[in-house]
Amino acid sequence: MATVESEQGFDVVPTRLAVKAMRDSGYKNAAYAIAELVDNAVQAGARCVEVLCKEDEVLVKQQTRRRVQQIAVVDDGIGMSAEVLRRALQFGNGERLNDRSGIGRFGMGLPNSSISQARRVDVWSWQSGQASAMHSYLDLDEVEAGELRDVPLPEGKAIPAEWLRISATVKAAKSGTLVLWSKLDRCDWKTAQAIFRNSEFTIGRIYRYFLSEGKGRIRMASFVTGQREAGFDEDVRPNDPLYLMAGTATPAPWDTDAMFEAYGEPYTASHTVDGKSHTVTVRISVAKRAARAGHSAGGLLHGKHAGGNIGVSVVRARRELELQTGWCVGYDPRERWWGIEVDFPPALDEIFGVPNNKQGARALAEFSTLSLDQMALREGYATEQELKEAWIEDNDPRMLLVHVKLNIESNLQAIRKAIKAAEGRSESKRKRHEDANSAESRGKSAAEQRERDGNVGGSDAPDSSTPEEKMSQITRVLEAAGLSVDEARPLGAAVVESHAKFAFYDADMQTPEFFTVRIKAGTIFIGLNTNHPAYEHLVALRSSDDDTDDVAALKQRLHQSYEGLKLLLESWARYEDELTDGRRKEQAQMARLDWGRVARDFFRNE
C-alpha cells in the first residue's frame, strides 16, 4: 500500500518552502526591491518609469492615518507576450539568462523582488495598446495552500481604472508593463511619503546615469482611494556620489554646479573572458575647497547629503549595485569629501561576486576589509608577494581585484592626507575670526558697542535667513565682486560659521578705489584692490608671514608698512588740499572727523 508521502511525491525543493526562503533573498529595503522592477523597465527600452502608491485612510489609535495598500511600477517599454509574461513570473527563467549585454540576466528580479515585500503580485503587459493587456499573477497564500503550483496562464484582462487614472504612461504608451504589489506584509515604510522620501535618494543614485544622460525619467506619485487628485508627485533627480554631475539632487548651492572635482585620471584594468577583453574603470573625485570650507561644513545641507553617499560606488552596466563602506576609516566625517566609483561590465560578474539579486559585489567587498597579507595567509602563502606571484602565474582572475584594491587604497591615502591638511588651514582661518586680538574680533566688539550706544548701521538689521541662505547670498555678492567660486564659498562659509561682523578679501578691481565696502547678511565685507599701489605697500607684506628668525627682514617689513601708512595719510591730506569748492572741502573734513570718532572706538582697548 502506497504511503501518503509516495502519493504526494517528494519534490527536491518543496515549492511552499522554496518560496518562503526566497522571501529572505537579501533586498535591503523596498527601494532596492523597486529598483529590480526599474531594471526590467530599462532593459525593455522604457523612456518613462512610474513608481505609484495607493493609500487608504484608516483609523489608527482613534486618528485617521494614510497607509499604503498597493505599490505599482509602470513602464512604457516593449511589453511582453503571453509566453514571456508567464516565464517572467517563474523563478530563474527570465528572458536574459545568458545575456551579458545589459542590467539583468539572472531571471529572478520580478518574482524575487515582489515577494520580498508583498504576498501578491499582479502583472499586466501590452504590446498594441492597453486594450491588448495580458494578465497573470503570483499569490503566496495560494502557493502555501497548495492551490497554485504553476504560473497562471496569461489571459486578457483590463487594467484597473484607478491605475489608468493615475498613470500617464498607461494611457499614452502603445506598449508597456504594470507590476502591482498587494498584501504588503514586509514593507517597512507604511506611507507613500515615507516610501518615496526613502527611495528617491537610493533610486536616484542607482539610476544616475539613466537620468543624467537623458535616457528617461522616473516619476513617483501617490493617490488616496476615492480621491481624484495625486498626492505626492515628483520626478527622481540624479544622485551622484562622485558629485561630478551638475543638475542633481544635491542641495544648493551645489544643485546646479559640480560639488567635487576629478582626482587624477581614471584607472583601468582588463581581464579576458571567453577570448574577449573586458575593462574595469576606477574614477575618483574629491570635494572642492569651497564645499568643505569651515570645520562644520559637514553639518550644512550639502555636507549632510555627501554624508549619505560615503563609500565606494560599485557600478555594473551603468547601474549602481551598492555603496561599499568597507573602504572607509571608521566613522570619520571627512570620508564624505571623496568619491570613488568602480565600473565593470556584466561579463565580470563572477570575478566581482555579483549575486542573483544584484545587491552587491561580494568579492570586491571582501577585498576592502582584508589586507593582502591576511589574504595570503588565508590562501596558504607566507607573504603578500608570494600570493601575487602565484596568482599571476596561474592567471587567477582575482588579480584584477588586487589591482583595483591597490589603486583605491593608494589614492585614498593621498586624498585623506590632503583633506586633513586643508582642514587644518581652514581651521586656522576660522580661529582668526574667533581670536579676541584679531582685527575682525575687535572690530565686531566695537561695532556691537556702537549699536548699543544708538549708532545703528545697515548691517545691524535683524536677519532671519538660514545658514544656507546666508551662504548663498554672501557667495553671490563676492562672486559679483570678482572672486571665483572657489574663493567666494570658503570665505562665505567661514563668515557664516563664526557670525563675523567684518570680513576682508582681495579682489582684482579695475577702479582707483583702494578698498570697497559691501554689506550682506549682517556682515560688512571689505574688498582690498590688489591693483592699487597701496596694496603692495600695506597688504602684500602679509604674504611673507611665515616664521623667520631674520630680525633685519622683520624690521624692514615694519618700516615698509609704516611708510605705506604715511603715504596713505598724505594722499588723503593732498585730496583735501586740492578741493577748491568750500562745501566739498567742509564735507571731506567732516567725514575725516566722523571717521576719526569711529576709529577711536575701534582702537580703544576693551
Condensed to tens digits (0 to 9), the pLDDT of residues 237-279 reads 999 999 999 999 999 889 999 999 999 999 999 999 999 999 9
Residue (of 122, 124, 149) closest to 137 by Cα position: 122
The reported pLDDT for the residue numbered 298 is 85
Q: How far apart are CA 363 and CA 361, in angstroms?
A: 6
Residue carrying C-alpha cell 581652514: 426
User: Do 173 and 297 belong to one domain?
Assistant: no
Q: Which residues fall within 8 angstroms of residue 361, CB to CB, at 6 or more apart?
A: 314, 316, 321, 322, 324, 342, 352, 353, 354
- What is the reported pLDDT for 181? 96
Q: Indicate whether 454 and 585 sit together in one domain.
A: yes
User: Strand (E) positions, 205-331?
Assistant: 217-224, 233-235, 260-262, 267-273, 276-287, 312-316, 319-324
Q: What is the mean pLDDT of residues 101-112?
A: 60
Separation CA 142–CA 119 (nearest Å)? 10
- pLDDT for the residue 547: 47
Q: Is 8 inside a domain boundary?
A: no
What does the pLDDT look like over 333-357, one tens digit per residue? 889 999 999 999 999 999 999 987 7
**Confidence band for 94, pLDDT divided at 50, 70 and 90:** low
Of the candidates 413, 452, 410, 446, the residue with the CA atom closest to the CA atom of residue 282? 410
pLDDT at 390: 93
Residue 129 lies in a domain: yes
Domain count, the chain: 3
* pLDDT tens by residue, 304-344: 999 999 999 999 999 999 999 999 987 788 899 999 999 99
- Residue 424 pLDDT: 60
Residue 148 has phi, psi (to 5 degrees) of: -130, 105
Task: State the pLDDT at residue 5.
Answer: 47
pLDDT at 105 over 50: no
Distance, CA of 550 to CA of 535 (rounded, Å): 24
Q: Which domain holds residue 507?
A: 430-603
| In a shared domain, residues 414 and 438 | no
Residues 80 and 221 in one domain: yes
The yes-or-no verdict on residue 415 having pLDDT over 50 is: yes
Q: What is the pLDDT of residue 102?
A: 47
Question: Does residue 114 carry a pLDDT above 60?
Answer: yes
What pLDDT is stored for residue 1 in this prediction?
44
Distance in angstroms (rounded) separating the CA atoms of residues 283 and 274: 26
- Residue 223 shares a structural domain with residue 277: no
The helix-helix angle for 467-480 and 485-498 (nearest 10°) equals 140
Q: Rounded to two decimals, what is the model's pTM?
A: 0.68
What is the band of 549 on the pLDDT scale with cuts at 50, 70, 90?
low
For residue 213, what is the domain's CATH number?
Answer: 3.30.565.10
Task: Tell me the average pLDDT of the chain.
Answer: 85
Q: What is the mean pLDDT of residues 413-429?
A: 74
Does 466 share its domain with 515?
yes
- Shared domain check, 219 and 348: no
Q: Which has the closest alpha carbon to 511: 481, 493, 486, 531?
A: 531
419 plus 434 within the same structural domain: no
Burial, 93: exposed, middle or buried (Cβ in 10 Å; 0-12, 13-18, 19+)?
Answer: middle
> pLDDT tens digits, residue range 56-80?
888 777 788 889 999 999 999 999 9
| Cβ partners under 8 Å of residue 479, min gap 6 | 485, 488
